[in-house]
A and B are shown apart, each in its own frame.
Chain A
Amino acid sequence: MNEHKPLTGRARPDRSPHTLEEWRKLGGYAAVERGLKALSPEQVLDMVDDANLNGRGGAGFPAAKKWRFMPKPGQSPGDGPSYFIVNGDEMEPGAFKDRILLEAVPHQLIEGAILAAYATHSSEIIVLIRDAYRDAIANVTRAIAEAEAAGYLGRNVLGSGFDVKMWVHPSAGRYIVGEETALIEALEGKRAVPRKRPPFPAQSGLWGRPTTVNNVETVSCVSHIVANGAQWFRALSRTEEGGTKVFGVSGRVNRPGIIEAPMGTPAGELIEQAGGVSGTGVLRCFQPGGGASGFLEPDALDVPLDFGNVAKAGSMFGTGTMIVLDQSACPLAVIARHMAFYARESCGWCTPCRDGLPWVAQIMMRLERGEGRMEDLDVLRETVAIAGPRGRTFCDLMGGAMAPLGSGLARFGDLFEAHVREGCCPIAREYGRSAA
């Protein structure tokens, strides 16, 4: 195993998955053996806690803290199972990190899921995967069958007394399915409309039972923590937050791709590893964590990329998959496309989101065409103020959408005004439409 790239080091370049036998030769399932035979669920949970593993799906919530909300045996209300759900509904603009973990190293995910289910006293594991990831669906399904045949899933796993079954639920479109309570609704066979909280899923989740939902990358870290220890995991990082991170760099860079690097690696280093800025070769700005993260500028290239430090710098680490804009790329045009995306993907339940986002998207498109009015900017600012993070909606789709818009207005206010004043995109005029 590549010591410095525990999550992707064993992935093959063509992303063909390992058979269970091949995976075992690479050290696979040793952590499951150790965890289930030598450690109690609480000990596994404590290790993950000590490792300081933050959720990799976007919010950065500490995994162990989420797990501790799950009831212990005997404390569970009523009869029935508890559920552990792996969220593989990756659809955030600019995010392509879970795809490789699902396609190329499915046994790593299964190992992590078994240990996580053990620690959370869950007896059923469901992996929800988006429709477009057909190879991922096939590879994870096959790996589950192999793990079942080898006795890592099923009744009395490895003689530990722990029963767990696992299956894949392929989804069928809609970004909102990735929101954890919407995902639970989807699994129940309903329209994926987020639930009001409380109650939180750990109290009342899938079919009213205690449920934990974690991102693919978060779950993929767990076997490494159990195999190598919490201290080892923390030492992988350059900051307080544990582990490596499967970063992504895309947009205007020469070699867009996935880069597993220590948590806390600054954007400047990642962009360099991605072959540097393309287009004009000069960076204008970047979104550090996918579509719903605020813009940062070249002065933030040295900020260690983790949840705490990026928040301090005024953005959000999110999925850790950055979108890079060079000097010839117009942030307004990128925001306009993000707004069109979030407007389309709103589930339509809450009025500010359902009606507000299409309005914002139309204004952005109008501004981009050079047909905007100065009053439009007031409407945009007002919408950001009303519907920003933790706004007046069940979930944070709209709040997230307001992050690039709000930071765009704050950082590039002059550029917004120039679009109105000059009746065109000044960047497109200088560099050409296609470039911008």
Chain B
Amino acid sequence: MTLSADLRSEITHAMDHHGGPRAAMLESLRMIQQAHGWVCDAHLEEAAALLGVTTAEMEDIATFYSLIFRQPVGERLILLCDGASCYLNGGEDVRDAVMARLGIGFGQTTPDGKYTLINICCVGGCDHAPAAVIGRDRKLVGPLTPETIDEILGEAAL
């Protein structure tokens, strides 16, 4: 797989306008992920070559930042908050219900490739606790209950 012409020009733009090749690495990874859902080896190598940095430098960044995915994620991404305010409002009951419903734990994708479940630090939704951010737009949802998770899972379109 190769990067689209659009992505290549966006990466070059970021490099020219936002502080040079190194500074544009994370932004490039984000743009690739936005287009493809995750960052595969071929894309990472191509972006590194385009920026003139080494693959290792690119990988260094990709593996540090927790929301850059180096393996495929499901069509529907669920980032479940594990902050204290969510915990105090039954966040762990929601967590258990989501895990039971999907049959996966944190950091895992359902075998059919539909859902990926990830725990995330406080999503700034303490007024909607327990909360999650879902899908490509990181839509904030909550307050969640074990009874209403099905609607949330249905809405978690990537």
Contact = CB atoms under 8 A, between A and B. Distances in A.
Contacts of B89: 251-252
B126 A172 contact: no
A337 B82 contact: yes
Contact of A172 (B60, B66, B79, B82): B66
B65 A173 contact: yes
A92 B81 CA distance: 12
Nearest to A278: B89
- The size class of the interface chain A forms with chain B is 35 or more
Contacts of A142: none
A172 B65 contact: yes
A192 B64 contact: yes
B123 A132 contact: yes
Interface in A331-358: 333-334, 337-338, 340-341, 344-345
Contacts of A68: none
A207 B20 CA distance: 11
Contact of B61 (A95, A189, A333, A341): A189
A190 interface: yes
Interface in A90-131: 90-96, 98-99, 131
A94 B83 contact: yes
Contacts, number: 134
A203 interface: no
A167 B17 CA distance: 9
Interface in A227-263: 248, 250-252, 256-258
B25 A189 contact: yes
B61 A170 contact: no
A186 B31 CA distance: 17
Nearest to B91: A337
Interface stretch (A26-34, A310-318, A321-329): A321-329
B155 interface: no
A171 B65 contact: yes
Nearest to B60: A191
Contact of A190 (B22, B120, B121): B22
B94 to A, nearest CB: 11
A172 B121 contact: no
Interface string A177-200: 000000000111111100000000
A144 to B, nearest CB: 13
A168 B123 CA distance: 19
A287 B122 CA distance: 15
A283 to B, nearest CB: 13
B121 A93 contact: yes
A133 B126 CA distance: 14
A207 B88 CA distance: 42
A75 interface: no
B97 interface: no
A40 to B, nearest CB: 29
Contacts of A340: 82
A29 to B, nearest CB: 24
A169 interface: yes
Contacts of A323: 84-85, 88
A25 B27 CA distance: 35
A136 to B, nearest CB: 9
B124 A133 contact: yes
Interface in B117-145: 120-127, 129, 133, 137-138
A270 to B, nearest CB: 13
Nearest to B67: A173
Contacts of A338: 84
Contacts of A94: 83-85, 122, 126
B29 interface: yes
A258 B127 CA distance: 8
A72 interface: no
A134 interface: yes
A250 B129 contact: yes
A291 interface: yes
Given A132-B79, A186-B26, A187-B23, A93 B61 contact: no
A416 interface: no
B64 A99 contact: no
Contact of A91 (B29, B90, B122): B122
A307 interface: no
B126 A96 contact: yes
B64 A189 contact: no
A175 interface: yes
Nearest to B68: A172
Contacts of A345: 121
A403 to B, nearest CB: 13
A344 B107 CA distance: 14
Contacts of B122: 91-96, 291
B101 interface: no
16 contacts: A91-B122, A92-B122, A94-B85, A131-B138, A132-B79, A133-B124, A133-B138, A170-B30, A191-B61, A250-B126, A251-B84, A291-B83, A321-B126, A323-B85, A329-B88, A337-B83
Given A252-B89, A256-B127, A337-B82, 8 more contacts: A99-B124, A173-B65, A189-B23, A191-B60, A250-B85, A250-B127, A341-B83, A434-B93
The 3 nearest A-B residue pairs measured at CB: A189-B22, A173-B67, A250-B126
